[in-house]
């Protein structure tokens, strides 16, 4: 009993220290919080779902399993040590227990899989994008391009240490990605030399940038502000010096930024139907012209070919 009380006291102290550390640290949005132990606050729908999956599904299950195994170990140590149990039992195997400890983990994993697959589907079920950004990882910087808005590729490099704060060094970039608030942003990610990874924790996105391949992810920033990320793949000696900075602005400010970059509005969707209707209109005259041609050529030849060409025109 003394060992059980001590173990419970240590566990309570560790839990209390964890909650105290979390309470002391004021969470910062879009960047790491010093001394914090929780995930970064969410600023996009995908991150909200990821936090729910971690805090509501995984964490209670992991905590329950850990406490159960700890209690089981303590019970075995106290009940079946040499002093308390000088004569050990001779039996081995217990079919009901072996079935239980096989079936229950399978059921737990199936329960977790339901929410896990739902979250994976949300990451891949990208809604219609309002803005498309192509992000290319280079050794060791990022380049961004807005193909739909005709914003040419530009380079985003790290801000020197003497031009930023210690908290934001290796996070701030000189030419950040700019996106409008509450808009679906599709990010096309690729690499120019080696494998990099595009990751912005506040949005819940992280995807590899692979040379010769284009991956895609998406986010919808819920608040105006500045959000930071980094390359999350070991890509060489200066891997720690290629930050990702995303400035989320209002639609008016975004339009002004696009204009300052020499871009313009995205091509409207209406030309596509107009282009498809044009062939239909242009195809009508040939259909009517064909009988006219056959009727004019009929007197020159026999009437049989003219008769056979008319049904073909129909």
Query: What is the DSSP track for 150-186?
Result: TEEEEEE-BPPGGGS-TTTTTT-BSS-EEEETTS-EE
Helices (H), ranges, the chain: 2-24, 45-52, 59-79, 95-124, 251-260, 271-297, 303-313
Number of Cβ within a 10 Å radius of residue 233: 19
**pLDDT per residue over 162-199, tens digit each?**
999 999 999 999 999 999 999 999 999 999 999 999 99
Mean local confidence (pLDDT), 124-135: 96
Mean local confidence (pLDDT), 80-107: 90
Question: How far from the centroid of its chain's Cα atoms is residue 196's Cα?
Answer: 15
| More reliable by pLDDT, 27 or 238 | 238
**What is the domain partition of the chain in residue ranges?**
2-84+94-124, 131-260
User: What single DSSP character describes residue 313?
Assistant: H
- In this prediction, residue 288 carries a pLDDT of 39
In this structure, whether the domain defined by 131-260 belongs to CATH 3.40.50.300 is answered with: no
Local confidence band at 290 (pLDDT 50, 70, 90 cut-offs):
very low
Query: Residue 78 contacts by C-beta under 8 Å, 6 or more apart in sequence?
Result: 3, 4, 84
Percent of the chain with pLDDT over 90: 68
Percent of the chain with pLDDT over 70: 76
| More reliable by pLDDT, 39 or 3 | 39
Q: Determine which of 8-17, 22-31, 281-290 has the lowest per-residue pLDDT on average.
A: 281-290
CATH topology of domain 2-84+94-124: Helix Hairpins (1.10.287)
| More reliable by pLDDT, 8 or 228 | 228
């Amino acid at each position: 009993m003394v060992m059980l009380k001590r173990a419970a006291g240590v566990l309570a102290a560790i839990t209390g220290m964890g909650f105290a550390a979390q309470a002391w640290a004021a969470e910062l949005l879009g960047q790491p919080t010093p001394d914090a132990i929780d995930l970064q606050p969410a600023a996009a729908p995908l991150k909200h779902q990821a936090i729910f999956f971690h805090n509501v599904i995984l964490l209670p299950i992991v905590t329950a399993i850990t406490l159960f195994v700890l209690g089981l170990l303590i019970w075995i140590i106290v009940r079946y040590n040499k002093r308390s149990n000088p004569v050990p039992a001779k039996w081995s195997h217990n079919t009901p227990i072996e079935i239980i400890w096989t079936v229950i983990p399978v059921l737990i994993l199936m329960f977790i899989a339901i929410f896990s697959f739902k979250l994976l589907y949300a990451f891949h079920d990208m809604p219609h994008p309002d803005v498309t950004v192509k992000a290319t990882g280079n050794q060791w910087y990022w380049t961004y391009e807005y193909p739909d808005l005709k914003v040419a590729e530009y380079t985003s490099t790290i801000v020197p240490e003497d031009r930023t704060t210690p908290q934001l060094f290796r996070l701030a970039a000189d030419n950040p990605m700019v996106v409008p608030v509450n808009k679906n942003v599709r990010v096309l990610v690729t690499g120019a030399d080696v494998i990099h990874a595009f990751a912005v924790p506040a949005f819940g996105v992280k995807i590899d940038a692979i040379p010769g391949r284009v991956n895609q992810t998406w986010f919808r920033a819920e608040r105006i502000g500045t959000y930071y990320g980094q390359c999350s793949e070991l890509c060489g000696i200066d891997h720690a010096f290629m930050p990702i900075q995303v400035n989320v602005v209002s639609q008016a400010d975004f339009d002004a930024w696009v204009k300052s970059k020499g871009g313009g509005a995205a091509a409207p969707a209406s030309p596509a139907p107009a282009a498809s209707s044009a062939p239909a209109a242009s195809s009508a005259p040939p259909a009517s012209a064909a009988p006219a041609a056959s009727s004019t050529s009929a007197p020159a030849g026999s009437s049989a070919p003219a008769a056979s060409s008319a049904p073909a025109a129909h």
